[in-house]
Amino acid sequence: MSASDIIGDPAAQGRPMRRRGVERHNLILDSTERLLAATTDEDISLAQIAEDAGVSLASVYYFFPNRNAVYVALARRFNEEIYQRSILPPTDPEPQSWQELLAMKHKAAAVFQNSRPAALRLFLGAGVSVAVRNADFAGNARIAQSRARMFHAYFDMQPMPDLAHRLEIAAAAMDGVWSLSYGHHGRITDAYREEGTACAVTYLRRYLPEFLPRKPLTDEALAGIEVAPLTPDDTAPTD
């Protein structure tokens, strides 16, 4: 067995995983996503997941001790997909204001989540566990750090060390509106998405000027937008 046959565990459970194991791990997550998208049943069991995936129940238990552990791993996978989309620079057309940049990014995020009902349910539904919520917070914190770098890539602005923290709070306000939309409509409607963006913009106006001059994009600035996955210490509350 070569080193290439062992790769990192997508569930971030702190142990290496053989390639075949990663494939089975992802198969289990695929089945969990299908079940969450297809039913409103809150009591999806590991046995149901195993049946849908076409694997033994023992195989599911090998990776996940309980259903919530599967949900957390799926939330982390959704977070990575959302993050990879969030760092794509909106260049066609380019945003001419920070408010427009936020609106464009929020629209793209809503389109993605509406296309993945299981993501809506995990992140915006009622009864979400603390562990899933913490995974969501970690993902949002990482996006906020990249979004702060994106602001500096597009706009001529003064240094603002706490910009990522402010963007994280603004995103939390937006998420609250999106949760309300999900509760009423089962999706993020355009009207609620716009209201969520309005909440985020209103909050950020406390710290950002109404107008930030645009500056030319550089390859160096765009390359610096991405950040590594955050650790628990990175997401600790700040005053």
Kindly report the CA angle at 139 between 82 and 119, in degrees rounded to 5? 50
This prediction has a pTM of 0.84
Least confident of 89-93, 94-98, 209-213, 215-219: 89-93
pLDDT (tens digit, 9 = 90+) per residue, 2-23? 333 333 344 444 555 677 778 9
CA distance 103 to 198: 9
Domain residue spans of the chain: 3-63, 68-235
Confidence at residue 17, expressed as pLDDT on a 0 to 100 scale: 61
Instruction: Say if CB 120 and CB 188 are below 8 A apart.
Output: yes
Per-residue pLDDT at 2: 34
Three-state DSSP state, 214: strand
| Domain 3-63 fold | Arc Repressor Mutant, subunit A (1.10.10)
Q: What is the pLDDT of residues 15-49, one digit of tens each?
A: 556 777 789 999 999 999 999 999 876 678 999 99
111 DSSP assignment = H
> Is the pLDDT assigned to residue 238 strictly greater than 60?
no
User: Looking at the predicted structure, is the pLDDT value of residue 148 above 60?
Assistant: yes
